[in-house]
Amino acid sequence: MESIEVRRKNEVDKWYGEIDDSVKDLLNYIDHLPSMVGAEPFSINDEWLIMNIAKFILEQYGNLKPEEIHLAFTLAAKRRLKDENHKVVDATTYGQKLSINIVGKVLTAYQEGVRRVKSEPERLKSVQMSKRIEASRNTMDPKDAYDLLVKLCEEEGEFPKMFFLYSNVGNYLKSIDAFKDWSDKKKNELRARAEDLVPSTKTGSLTRANPEERKRKVLDMRRELFIKKWFEENVIGVQKA
């Protein structure tokens, strides 16, 4: 009767002989995952464990690309990955081997995060959410709105995809003369970009028959671009440096 070690080795050898190049790419990513969450590095004796982690990912998260799996663990390492209860996912292994349990916890949280981002536009269509947004615009202190945006940028490592307090943040940046060191060239490029992004002849929308509406939209877009550019340079860029 063959030992469990021999049986596992035979199973691994058979599986490795059947996989295609895409799975081999996945294995290369899996090999780097332990170092990202403080787990003990894989050794030559861990082929059976690596095989089962790969099988688990292919069966349960087959829609994820290897690059997304790497991104999920990167977010977990930065403690920027949250579960369905909005709690930070703890992917720590305390120096032990990477387990299927940890892999499932991280990838499930990543998928949930992607789902939330994709569903956000639909959720924001509701009248109730629109009222909340408008209430925040009317009542939030400009400095509080600015602090909120700084926090979101720091947490996400980029400018948030959904943000609605540009007027509030713009008022705060104006109060501290945030754009005083910008060249006229930079400002004019952003102004021109705003003009390009707001249509002037779109049927049934911002037509030439309604120039005041288009003017307002251009000003809103200009403010948004100025704020995004300032945050890219002074918050996000500083954090990544």
- At 207 the pLDDT is 43
Handedness of CA 20, 22, 25, 31 (dihedral sign): negative
Q: What is the pLDDT of residue 102?
A: 93
Q: What is the pLDDT of residue 16?
A: 86
State what percent of residues in the chain have pLDDT above 90. 26
> Residue 232, Cβ neighbours under 10 Å: how many?
15
Q: pLDDT value at position 136?
A: 55
Residue type, 116: R
Residue 105 pLDDT class (50, 70, 90 cuts): very high
Q: What is the DSSP string of 111-174?
A: HHHHHHHHHHHHHTTSHHHHHHHHHHHHHS-HHHHHHHHHHHHHHHSS--S----HHHHHHHHH
Beta carbons of 56 and 103 less than 8 angstroms apart = yes
Per-residue pLDDT band at 130 (split at 50, 70, 90): very low
Mean of per-residue pLDDT scores for the chain: 82
Q: Helix axis angle, 100-123 relative to 66-77, nearest 10°?
A: 90
pLDDT at 177: 93
pLDDT tens string 17-57: 888 888 888 888 898 898 888 889 888 889 999 999 999 99
Asked if pLDDT for residue 84 goes beyond 60, the answer is yes
Domain ranges of the chain: 4-122, 127-240
Q: What is the value of pTM for the model shown?
A: 0.50
- Residue 122 CB partners (closer than 8 Å, separation 6+): none
Per-residue pLDDT of 183-199, as tens digits, reads 999 999 999 998 888 76
Of 60, 63, 56, 9, give the one whose Cα is nearest residue 30.
56
- Please give the pLDDT value at position 135: 53
- State pLDDT tens for residues 135-190: 555 567 888 888 888 888 888 888 887 777 888 889 999 999 999 999 999 999 99
- Going by C-alpha positions, the residue among 153, 156, 150, 148 that lies closest to residue 78 is 156
